[in-house]
Amino acid sequence: MPAPLALSALLREAFTRLWNRRRGTIAVTAIGCALGLAIARAPLRPPVAQSAAQLIVLPLVASFIYLWVTDLPDGSPRPLGATLERLLERSWAVILIDLVLSLVQSLTTVPGMILWDLLLVPFLAATIFADVAATLDADLSAIDLFPHAIVRTLSLAMHARNFGRMCLLLAAEFGLQAMLLEIALILPRGFRADGTLVLAIIAQVALAAVAARMFVEASSANP
């Protein structure tokens, strides 16, 4: 069993892999931004269109990055064709998982529910690898994807080292969301929604790379 990597080493590895495969990373980020902006400009009410853009594009971009920064079982880099094939196969499950967890996360904004929040936040941390598991774990049937992903992430959260890192990853997500809200306030009004969406997609690329490397390391230490 390989020795666990320090958090700094995981972060360095995640961003090194993004840099080493930067052409694909830049391309999928650009495609994600274009797709997100197209959905956001659909003939719907602006809040609905913006929400639809995030709920569809962010999971798709994240799922691609999970695959892009991880290797095949033989240790070789995952080629683009295999990445796209797995993405098409698993994308629906990733979108569904993110939708369910987004609905759960929205419950933390209910006023006067401090005790509920204290229970809900650890649950969100413990399920943060669900979409990573749904993307990366092999030999799963369509009907098994959702339950397997939830069981897999909860089982990894049972180990204190993993759970601590999952909490850090959730805190990073919350921090980036708060930062995007602050940035949106200083953007020109006409560019605010589009600019926030583009920044969210770029942030998702970085978070997804870190989450994937954390998941692989946790799975190696606690298979």
pLDDT in tens, 114-157: 666 677 888 999 999 999 999 999 888 888 899 999 999 999 99
Rounded CA-CA distance 212/29 in Å is: 17
pLDDT for 201 equals 94
Close Cβ partners of 97 (under 8 Å, ≥ 6 residues apart): 59, 130, 131, 134, 146, 149, 150
Which pair of tokens denotes residue 114? 């401090």
The answer to whether the beta carbons of residues 156 and 184 sit under 8 Å apart is: no
- The yes-or-no verdict on residue 29 having pLDDT over 90 is yes
Phi/psi at 71 (5° precision): -100, 165
- The yes-or-no verdict on residue 209 having pLDDT over 60 is yes
Across 33-39, average pLDDT: 93
Neighbour tally for 16: CB within 10 Å:
13
pLDDT for 142 equals 85
Model's pTM, two decimal places? 0.90
Close Cβ partners of 28 (under 8 Å, ≥ 6 residues apart): 61, 64, 65, 68, 205
Rounded CA-CA distance 3/65 in Å is: 24
Q: Which tens digit of pLDDT belongs to each residue from 74-115? A: 888 899 999 999 999 999 999 999 998 888 877 665 555 566
Which pair of tokens denotes residue 102? 């987004």
